[in-house]
Structure 1
Amino acid sequence: MTDFDDDKALQDAEQKRKNLADRTRDDLIHVMGSQQGRRVIWKLLDSAGVFSISFTGDNNATNFNEGRRSEGLRLFSDVMAHCPDLYMTMAKEAKEDEEKS
């Protein structure tokens, strides 16, 4: 391979990475754009333990909870990076749903 081929391959890989990141962002914004989507995201964040403490007193259970929470925090970070205003809407709707129950 030549340096030109290497540069082209790097450019292609970077473009693919950017396209995937853009699509992921757009997908999340689309899901967060509906009340149903926000309910699903809230449930995922809640079941991942984002809003609770992972510690249980048992190292294995705590480690498991932290792994689950880590994925939830990744989703939370994406929501806050791409549609923080919709997070506030989602939290308000979740509180209203909880009060109705």
Structure 2
Amino acid sequence: MSDLQEQLSPHQEVARAELAKAFRGVLSTEAGKRVLYWILEECAIYRDAFCGENNATNYTLGQQASGRKILAKLDEIDPRLYPALLMDIAQIREVDRSAAEALADKQENDDDLEG
């Protein structure tokens, strides 16, 4: 990594630092984590690319290449960012699941009161 930094111009170093700061800013909020994870899902990172039809497979492989670029950037900034994102998303989904169950229970109880 120090070899890369030695090859960067001052402008490139500033741009790189600002991009890292922006990624950290996105990952500092629940909303940012949700959006970044959604982007990775849309990049087919979590799907099998091979579907038996060459054009569709190639399309998915292209999507995955974009997703891998995002993962590589996260790893370049800090190798702990992506694993932390996965852990945070698991927690966010658990909170969402609990909220959905509570809402369903409330609606069920409201229906019982009306009937």
Q: Which of the five TM-score ranges fits, normalised by the shorter chain?
A: 0.7 to 0.9
Please state if 1:73 is matched with 2:68: yes
Q: Which has the larger radius of gyration?
A: 2
User: Taking every aligned residue pair, what percent have the same amino acid on both sides?
Assistant: 20
* Structure 1 residue 97 displacement after superposition: 4.1
1:26 corresponding residue in structure 2: 21
Partners of 2:38 and 2:61 in 1: how far apart? Answer: 17
| Counterpart residue number, 1:61 | 56
2:32 and 2:44 mapped to 1: Cα distance? Answer: 19
Task: Give the alignment partner of residue 14 of structure 1, picking from 6, 9, 20.
Answer: 9
State TM-score, norm by structure 2. 0.66
1:76-87 matches, within 5 Å, as 76-87=71-82
How far apart, in 1, do the equivalents of 2:40 and 2:75 lie? 12
Cα distance, 1:44 vs structure 2: 0.7
How large is the RMSD of aligned CA atoms in angstroms? 2.0
**Correspondent of 1:52 among 47, 51, 65:** 47
Across the two proteins, how many residue pairs are aligned to each other? Answer: 89
Q: What TM-score, normalized to structure 1?
A: 0.73
The answer to whether the 8 A contact 1:39-1:90 is kept is no
CA distance in 2, matches of 1:72, 1:51: 10
Higher relative CO (CA 8 A, sep ≥ 6), structure 1 or 2? 1
Structure 2, gaps ≥5 residues long? 1-7, 101-115
Counterpart position of 1:7: none
- The answer for the alignment partner of 1:88 in structure 2 is 83
Letter in 2 for 1:29: R
